[in-house]
Structure 1
Amino acid sequence: MAINLEAMRPQSWQGIDDIVIVGGGLAGLFCALKLAPRPVTVLAAAPIGQGASSAWAQGGIAAAMSPGDSFDKHLADTVAAGAGLVEEKVARLMISEGPDRIHDLLAYGVPFDRDLEGHLLLSREAAHSERRIVRVAGDKAGGAIMEALVAAVRRTPSIRVMEGYVVEELIAEGRFVSGVIARPDAGQSKKRVAFPARAVVLCSGGIGHLYQVTTNPAEARGTGLGMAARAGAVIADPEFVQYHPTAIDVGQDPAPLATEALRGDGATLVNRAGHRFMLDLHPDAELAPRDIVARGVFAEVVAGRGAFLDCTKAIGRDFATHFSTVYASCMAAGIDPVTQGIPVVPAVHYHMGGVAVDADGRTSLDGLWAAGEVTSSGVHGANRLASNSLLEAVVFAGRIADSIKGMLPESTLYEWPTSAGENDDLVTVEDSAELKRLRQLMSAHAGVIRDEEGLKVLIRELAALDRARSRVRFSNICAAAKLIAVGALLRTESRGAHMRADHPLPVESQRHRTYLTLKTADRIIADIAG
């Protein structure tokens, strides 16, 4: 039964578009704005800007904009961090478009930090050779960017925002995606709604909530990756899961983050004895690539020596002014970072893997584009360079808008939404017992350090969970987890964020990207699980 849209339609709305964007984070909103004045609908499970990892980003956006910097330097740093797997042509394209996207964000009202002469203030983060991080009030970039974009979207009449719609499936006919199916009322409705579309843009975020310790919001459950895989999309590099080295270890889920900018400004990592352990592991110490720092912190924690971020000398009494978000998180947990070390632990932070896309955000399925953390464009390789994630989101969201305008120049109007049936698979606030078990298994066997035995245990357990819980959303979640596990099993080397205890060195013959389909992964799982 068709829903009467007139009561929900703004007075300026001139029809129903044929472009649907899944997700109300940075990539989704930026793409919608870049498509204007072409009509577009954004489907978001929560109010736009909420439940998105972008809003939690502290550091900022990397862009080569200072007099001493260059695109070549930024690319060299990106390639070095990516451990041999960066698609250099795509990364150069992203980096070269970065300054223009910063100016776009300024035009949308993002209040990036400036000096007294009005120049952008740039900070440095780990593995960057120059100060090129454009930030807001020290550690508030993500929230400030999202606030400005939300305001811009709400005043743009061509963008129809439908909040509280949990997208559960892609409508696919062979290789062609022709819409999505969503559950209204923040997933509490038994009714499901079909949204036909000629173009679907998937901007659904990452996979952090598949693990027990993560800095990501609970919405980052890999459902977009899973639904794309279940529709037949090719998935790239799923084994590369980046841990942030310095999540604040106070038992919260998600874990609050101590931004890398603190180390960029001179904070050090010490164990309980006061030993600065990163000096033993890398010439850049605390500013080494994230995978190396994460493993260093992990080793101290596992050994019982603990790991602490010491900001007392480098930041000191300026902490509350320059890093108010981290300061508030620490004080709420009874830690005064001005005088005390901050207990830290590695936490899942970003997925370099995802739906394989080209330089214009096109997936292997016709009619489906994707941007943001749900994708793998090759620009991060095996290990993302700090603050390149927000850069990737805005650059590729803008390129998707241009691609759609070029490929679908004329709008075709549909009378939708329409009913897609009913079931009682309602969204719950708390993790189900099955999801709790999955998160435990992923942390235990596909975490900072993996090995063949543990990955095979994980694969068998995931297969059993998938058989026992035949619900659409959990199948999406489980599909994402299975792809990560199989990718990690197949890569019998250590590279970037992927560390195999049984294969501790990189192998030259494996210096290539991974491409998987769910069908292939399931065949491998069947051989292992029996």
Structure 2
Amino acid sequence: KKECYGALVYDTEEKKNKAYIARATILATGGAGQLYKYSTNPDVATADGMAAAFRAGSSLVDMEFIQFHPTVLYSHDTQRFLISEAVRGEGGLLYNKKGERFMSKYHALEELAPRDVVSRAIVNECAQLGSEYVYLDMTVIPNVEKRFPNIFNTCLKRGIDIRKDYVPVSPAAHYTMGGIATNTKGETDIYGLYACGETACTGVHGANRLASNSLLDGIVFGQRIVDNAEEILYRRTIDKDEVFNSFEPSWVLKPHGHISPQEARPLLQTIMWENVGIIRDETSLKKANYMIENLYNDLAQGESIIDYYEIVNMLTVAKIVVQGALWRKESRGGHYRSDYPYRDDIHWAKHMSFTNC
């Protein structure tokens, strides 16, 4: 079994690599939301921990399951403001470009349908009517400005008064259900390496995370890692000289193309959004696979080593997301294929794991 002895990091101030030896190493680096053009995630959600663990030999599992939040404030920003589904829970209604309510066509629960259903419904309505967004009506909620003060203030800054105005919304990438495979102690399949939070995949979210369950995930498995790592700290010894003498970095810089990391990032995000997004099929996934491979081969190092590290991590994980989505010939949770629109428990009630052998 492979073992982890710490981390090799890049010091941005001193501009050099540094090695840190550790008996227990914990990855808590967030998800992969920045793989997509539109996301609720911060700019740093670039799948770095997932890619690093994969290169080191750890398994990534369930990577085809990406959750898209249906009601995000429409804007030209790539990072978009999330409007909680609690708004719909308290009576918020969705209208299309024609001013028609439409959710009854897609699900018996209408606005209270699961996130993936609402997201697909919005995509379909926009495609049919040539619009980039639908409208969320919060005017029907009593004292909405007091119930949702953050949403009220954010919208007001953009000239929208939710007490009387409809709010333009559209879906955006929100959560990565897959990640580094861990057990219920937070252990990966590399001894001494742990992962928790969105960068990990314990399986508790299945194919479609429920709202706020990721908070419990982080708290519970974060504590379990601490409890388990305490044991390793007492019983594990590491010979630093032996580690350094035998160390072979899995990261090798191979700048060989003409596309800079700054140019490659939005190209990748557009590829993923248009081909590996809310609705997928074999044609779009194969197209994405081809385009990502070409983008990787044309990549140059550029001036910023950090930007280069990030885009290589993003490309590494994007290829796995695409491959998982291509292989899973069914629809389940956050993974929807229009060419295989139904769930298939006979053939696909299982996880897919990717390992860098």
CA root-mean-square deviation: 2.5
Instruction: Confirm or deny: 8 A CA contact 2:23 2:232 kept in the other structure.
Output: no
Q: Which residue of 2 aligns with 1:321?
A: 146
Equivalent residue number for residue 492 of structure 1:
329
1:241-320 correspondence runs (5 A):
241-303=66-128, 304=130, 306-315=133-142, 318-320=143-145
Give the alignment of 1:148-187 within 5 angstroms.
175-184=2-11, 187=12
**Alignment match, 1:514:** 352
Equivalent residues of 1:250, 1:333 under 8 A apart: no
TM-fit CA distance, 1:507: 1.5
| Distance verdict in 2 for CA 1:181–1:473, change over 3 Å | farther
Structure 1 residue 475 displacement after superposition: 2.2
CA shift for structure 1 position 275: 1.9
Q: Secondary structure at the match of 1:448?
A: coil
1:262 to partner: Cα distance? 0.9
1:362 shift after superposition? 0.7
The corresponding residue for 1:437 is 267
**Aligned with 2:5: secondary structure?**
strand
Offset, 1:407: 3.4
1:447 aligns with 2:285: no
* Cα separation, 2, equivalents of 1:439 and 1:250: 17
Amino acid of the structure 2 residue aligned with 1:511? A
Q: Deviations for 1:30-77, whole angstroms, at most 9, x for unmatched residues?
A: xxxxxxxxxxxxxxxxxxxxxxxxxxxxxxxxxxxxxxxxxxxxxxxx
CA contact (8 A) 1:177 1:366 kept: yes
Mapping of residues 84-483 of structure 1, within 5 Å: 175-184=2-11, 187=12, 189-303=14-128, 304=130, 306-315=133-142, 318-409=143-234, 432-469=262-299, 471-483=308-320
**Moved segments of 4+, more than 6 Å:** 411-415
Give the TM-score normalised by the residue count of structure 1.
0.60
Q: 2:69, 2:173 within 8 Å by CA — same for their partners in 1?
A: yes
Query: 1:413 offset after TM fit, Å?
Result: 9.3
Task: Tell me by how many angstroms 1:406 deviates.
Answer: 2.8
Match of 1:152 in 2: none
**Secondary structure of residue in 1 paired with 2:234:** coil
Q: Secondary structure at the match of 1:176?
A: coil
Contact preservation (8 Å) 1:196, 1:414: no
Q: Helix, strand or coil for the counterpart of 1:488?
A: helix
- Separation of aligned partners in 1, 2:339 and 2:288: 16
344-353 or 405-414, which moves further after superposition?
Answer: 405-414
Please list every run of 5 or more consecutive structure 2 residues that lacks an aligned counterpart in the other structure.
Answer: 302-307
Shift in Å, 1:431: 6.8
* TM-score of the pair, normalised by structure 2: 0.88
1:309 partner SS: strand
The one-letter code of the counterpart of 2:138 is C
Please state how far the C-alpha of 1:236 moved relative to its aligned partner.
0.6
Name structure 1 gaps, 5 residues minimum: 1-173, 520-530
**Residues 518 and 437 of structure 1: CA distance in aligned 2, closer, same or farther (over 3 Å):** farther
Aligned length: 335
Deviation of residue 360 (structure 1)?
0.7
**Cα distance in 2 for residues equivalent to 1:341 and 1:466:** 42
Q: For residue 287 of structure 2, what is the amino acid of its counterpart?
A: V
For residue 503 of structure 1, report the CA deviation from its aligned partner: 1.2
**Gap change, CA 1:188 and 1:310, over 3 Å in 2:** farther
Secondary structure of the residue aligned to 2:45 is coil
Q: Could you tell me whether the CA contact under 8 Å between 1:182 and 1:193 is conserved in 2?
A: yes
| Aligned mates of 1:188, 1:504 — CA distance in 2 | 50
- Aligned AA (1:287): L
Q: CA deviation at 1:464?
A: 1.9
Q: Shift of the alpha carbon at 1:478? A: 1.1
With over 3 angstroms needed to count, the CA separation of the structure-2 counterparts of 1:414 and 1:518, relative to structure 1, is: closer
Asked whether the equivalents of residues 70 and 172 of structure 2 are also in contact (C-alpha less than 8 Å), the reply is: yes
One-letter amino acid of the structure 2 residue matched with residue 234 of structure 1: S
In 2 relative to 1, CA 413–507 (structure 1 residues): closer, same or farther, beyond 3 Å? Answer: closer
**Aligned-pair CA distance for 1:389:** 0.9
Structure 1 position 189, deviation (Å): 4.2
